[in-house]
Amino acid sequence: MTQTTSIDAVMRTLADPTRRAVFERIVKSEEITVAELTRGSGVTQGAISQHLKSLKQAGLVADRPEGRNVHYRADPKGLAPLVDWMALYAVFWRERFANLRTLLKEIDP
């Protein structure tokens, strides 16, 4: 788990609506370049690059240089500070219920 990224840093980074929109697009893509992010965004490539820099510093995105392009992808670890125990356990128990259903089918068809 990323312990160095505080929730404050993550929240500050995602408080900007444009930056949040950039992040959401990265999350939805497996990998995406600055040029692809700029297209249809309504902001300049320079602005996108600045947002990417902030997202990277907050641990929310990771990059992979390839030739002239840099591919960005979401780093789910960066979001960990945003997700509290309760949210995690709510999903966890729903999943475990599904497991239990499957197990019961096996042992008591």
Phi and psi at 68, nearest 5°, equal -85, -15
Binding segment toward another protein, per CB under 8 A, in 9-17, 35-43, 48-56, 63-71:
9-17
Secondary structure of 21-84 as H, E, C letters = HHHHHHHHCCCEEHHHHHCCCCCCHHHHHHHHHHHHHCCCEEEEEECCEEEEEECHHHHHHHCC
State yes or no: residue 99 binds another protein (CB under 8 A). Answer: yes
State yes or no: residue 16 binds another protein (CB under 8 A). Answer: no
State yes or no: residue 68 binds another protein (CB under 8 A). Answer: no
State yes or no: residue 30 binds another protein (CB under 8 A). Answer: no
Site for another protein in 69-98 (CB under 8 A): 74, 76, 79-97
State yes or no: residue 40 binds another protein (CB under 8 A). Answer: no
State yes or no: residue 35 binds another protein (CB under 8 A). Answer: no
